[in-house]
Amino acid sequence: MADKKKLFLLVSYFNEKEVAEFVTSQLNNLLNDTIHAVIIDNGSFEPEILEKLCNSNLSLTLCKPENNIGYFGAAHYGLNHYLKINNLPDLIIICNTDISFEGISFIKQLDKIYDEKKFDVLGPDIYSTFLKYHQNPYIAKRISRQKMQIYKWVTSSQYLYTIFTLLHLIKTTVVKSNQNKITNEIDTYAIHGSFMIFNKTYFTKGGSINYPSLLFGEEIFVAETALQRGLKVIYEPSLHIEHRQNATTNSFKSKKLVQLMNQSYRYLLKTFFIK
């Protein structure tokens, strides 16, 4: 079983210290000729932290768009930057930097899955250490147009979204925290955006991460892209991620962020949920 070429895409948005810590603690022992990482500086207080980090390892690349182009926009930019001088790797991983996984054993298991199972997009088991529940499968069945319209309405004002968020947190804390991890591999609609694994086949079959919205809805964009092209999205429980999100600060959005969320739902509705 030959090592598969892997690319980690890490988006830094004024969290360069967290990104540097993630690379130092999680990736440094993994980076080699077959495992590379691109850090996309989408905004930083101390860019020299990222510059010093990337200068210390040939398998690390730093690139910087002219301005903030959003989460998937930055990931797309980083992938294109990498492909200027490299071939498409076997696996492309877009991940947050507030996560952790079991280094070498994780990579070996991922290589085994790549050899043995058919998939275009893969989501691991992701456990939220704050909310105490498993975040994958993120959305098991295709979301309805009616539900998307509700999301658009809820995000039409910060007040409505705050009420919705409170109810959602109660539901996830009371209901989902009592749910056990799904222990078998299953086909699913959408996987959680904190750690998304793309087989190169996702791209060779016409898939894209060129999502035009600045933030939010990336999981649905990938799910709908896969659905349109007949691609296989799976949840794989043998791969485990711990997600150290601060659910309270991440959930309650500013007025500007709620507006961006609403714009994303509008885009998704008119692009994928016409009927």
How far, in whole angstroms, is CA 90 from its chain's centroid? 17
Whole-number Å distance between alpha carbons of 116 and 275: 37
Beta pairing partners, 11: 40
| pLDDT beyond 70 at 260 | yes
What value does the mean pLDDT take over residues 244-268? Answer: 81
CA 210 centroid distance within chain: 13
pLDDT in tens, 229-244: 999 999 999 999 999 9
107 contacts 35 by C-beta, under 8 angstroms: yes
Please state the rounded mean pLDDT for residues 205-215.
96
DSSP string, 183-221: -S-EE-SB--TTEEEEEHHHHHTT------SSSS-HHHH
Q: Which pLDDT does position 252 carry in this prediction? A: 63
Question: Cβ(86)–Cβ(35) under 8 Å?
Answer: no
Tell me what pLDDT residue 247 has. Answer: 47
Mean pLDDT of 190-206: 97
Comparison of pLDDT for 131 and 268, the residue scoring more:
268
Which residue type, as a one-letter code, is found at position 16?
E
> Given 3.60.21.10, 3.90.550.10, 3.40.50.1970, 3.20.10.10, which CATH number is that of 6-272?
3.90.550.10
Provide mean pLDDT across the span 253-263: 91
Q: For the chain, what are the domain ranges?
A: 6-272
* pLDDT at position 21 over 90: yes
* 229 φ, ψ (degrees, to nearest 5): -105, 5
170 has a pLDDT exceeding 90: no
